[in-house]
Copies of this chain bind each other. A is one copy, B any other.
Amino acid sequence: MNQKRAHNFSAGPAALPLEVLEKAQKELVDYQGAGASIIEMSHRGPEYTEIDRQARERLSRILGLGDDYEILFYQGGASLQFMMVPYNFNFEKTADYINTGSWSKKAIKEAKVFGDVHVAFSSEDSNFNRIPGNDELSFSGKGEYLHFTSNNTIFGTQFRNEPDSDGTPLVCDASSDFLSRPLDIKRYGVLYAGAQQNAGPAGLTIVILRKDFLEKARKENVASMLSYPTQVGTLYNTPPVFGVYIFNYVLEWIEQKGGLEAIDQLNKEKAALLYDEIDRDDFYRGTAEQASRSLMNVTFRLRDEALEKAFIEESKKAGMSGLKGHRSVGGIRASIYNACPKESVEALVTFMQEFRSRNG
């Protein structure tokens, strides 16, 4: 099949590695000679069991999980985790949250249904244009965990390092920079991520739980599907088979690329190309503070909305998609997750230069 590829800068669901898509395409009707698609087979049969095993083994190896963590392949996106985390760990207790954008706000809202929430920092007053320094965090002193959003898709900001929580377990919504760089995993009590930015198709959520933290989960009068202790270590119900299947190939692709160190290096190079172009003069203006800039979502504005509209229209004609910024920020957003090739970023930089020449 002749398959053209756009330069895809979608914020999510987002670009996947072409190799992964081509492999899935080849197998979609007949999975490795079994005479049926992987989406037509029992999730307890040998084919899916092997995929599940491989995906867990690869994820564990890539993140260095060792024996201290449980992995859930779940459904419902980060949005369901917003409530599952407090349902399990902050029921009639207190937890600390860092508010760095729309997703943090939603997580805080859901946590308040179940327990007390102490907001340790908020950048809402400056339209979420920055990430706090550690000296700006003010804790409740009795938090069960410290929740943060590692990358803010909408506002183009990202934690460079994990916040210093003074020993309190971190709970992280890592949806939009999951597997984009190495993590200090031992500091996390829970790390969760919707797959649809860096890991696979929408409909799969990856949840990683530290075993000693998991022991603190609520056990009385809980709904089975919302209970982490009930869900770990078993296929409680039918998993999102296609999502895990694609995720397993994405993990294979990450290892083939050299793992998270190599991926991180490539992501830094890609982001630098764009930020260098933005900082060249004041034709393009980054919306996030420099020290808080995301390597995943590069947000910038032009001098007026008419010019921004022209930029987006002309970029489409140049074979680029997904560059329109979120309405909360306006302007342009280039999402350059793991699977966005460097060539696409280079094409965008060239387009930005030409657009400046024509309109500067």
Q: Please encode chain A, from 17 to 46, with 1 for each CB lying within 8 Å of some chain B CB and 0 for all others.
A: 010011011101110011111011111010
Tell me how far the C-beta of A31 lies from the nearest C-beta in chain B, rounded to whole angstroms.
10
Q: B83 to A224, Cβ gap below 8 A?
A: yes
CB-CB under 8 A from A1, the residues of chain B are 26, 29-30
Answer whether A12 and B238 are a contact pair too, CB < 8 Å, given A6-B34, A6-B36, A113-B223.
Answer: yes
Q: A16 to B40, Cβ gap below 8 A?
A: yes
Q: A5 to B36, Cβ gap below 8 A?
A: yes
Could you tell me which residues of chain A, from 114 to 131, have a CB within 8 Å of some CB in chain B?
A: 114
- A204 within 8 A of partner (CB): yes
**What number of A residues sit within 8 Å (CB to CB) of B?**
71
Q: A35 to B4, Cβ gap below 8 A?
A: yes
Q: A242 to B41, Cβ gap below 8 A?
A: no
Tell me how far the C-beta of A173 lies from the nearest C-beta in chain B, rounded to whole angstroms.
12
Q: How far is the CA of A16 from the CA of B265 in the complex (A)?
A: 42
Q: Please encode chain A, from 64 to 86, with 1 for each CB lying within 8 Å of some chain B CB and 0 for all others.
A: 00000000000111111011000
* Chain A interface residues toward B at CB < 8 A: 1, 3-6, 8, 10-16, 18, 21-22, 24-26, 28-30, 33-37, 39-43, 45, 75-80, 82-83, 87, 106, 109-110, 113-114, 194, 196, 201-204, 221-226, 236-243, 246, 319, 321-322
* A-B pairs with beta carbons under 8 Å apart, 6 shown: A11-B42, A25-B28, A36-B321, A39-B246, A42-B322, A76-B76
Given contacts A5-B36, A75-B80, A110-B223, 14 further A-B pairs with CB under 8 A are A8-B35, A8-B40, A11-B42, A12-B238, A13-B42, A75-B76, A75-B77, A82-B224, A83-B224, A87-B223, A110-B225, A201-B240, A201-B242, A203-B240
